[in-house]
Copies of this chain bind each other. A is one copy, B any other.
């Protein structure tokens, strides 16, 4: 591949989202379309908790490798967003408000008993990718946030409309994400466009985003397989 302009790179990144972002996954369509039972929504929330809870570990290991105070302050904001400041709850705490609202026992959720092994493998692969790959690839893997406002607004409006067991309070996790994600993207995308300055680095950046899309997709595959069709939760996993 020959080198792309920065805007050409951005277009190539957006094309990956068009093809691979999990907004196209049938489980997502069922989730926001009101086609799932409460037990299936519980399974989604319980599994997705492990992803949410692992994000700060991912961000902390990326933070640890950033070379300047400016870059570290920028990335530190993500830790505040997810872990809170001791007064305002962070994303992990807000996700537990969602699992509470769905009637799941908080102790059970946090224990990770009942988690699908495939969720664990995919999420752990993400944390390790960020820990082990170049900084550029690690930052690029965060760029699925370019696509998240769309999926979040579909999810929130669809779930509120279609499930009587879901309230605005239950979904309070998502509201701050609508402003946090674009702020995160503004930084990460400009970093990537500036630092992916060879064809090889651009290919790494595109591969990192593909990898990230794949692992979000794989999480919905596992949920769909276990709880929708054919509906075969593996031994030991949560049963609604």
Contact = CB atoms under 8 A, between A and B. Distances in A.
Contact of A124 (B125, B210, B235): B125
Contact of A26 (B117, B214, B232): B232
Contacts of A230: 26, 224, 228-230
Contacts of A116: 218
A204 to B, nearest CB: 17
A235 to B, nearest CB: 5
A118 to B, nearest CB: 5
Given A118-B121, A120-B125, A225 B217 contact: no
Interface in A197-240: 210-211, 213-215, 217-218, 221-222, 224-226, 228-230, 232, 234-236
Contacts of A225: 221-222, 224-225
Contact of A118 (B124, B211, B222, B234): B222
A215 B122 contact: no
Interface of A: 19-20, 26, 116-118, 120-122, 124-125, 128, 210-211, 213-215, 217-218, 221-222, 224-226, 228-230, 232, 234-236
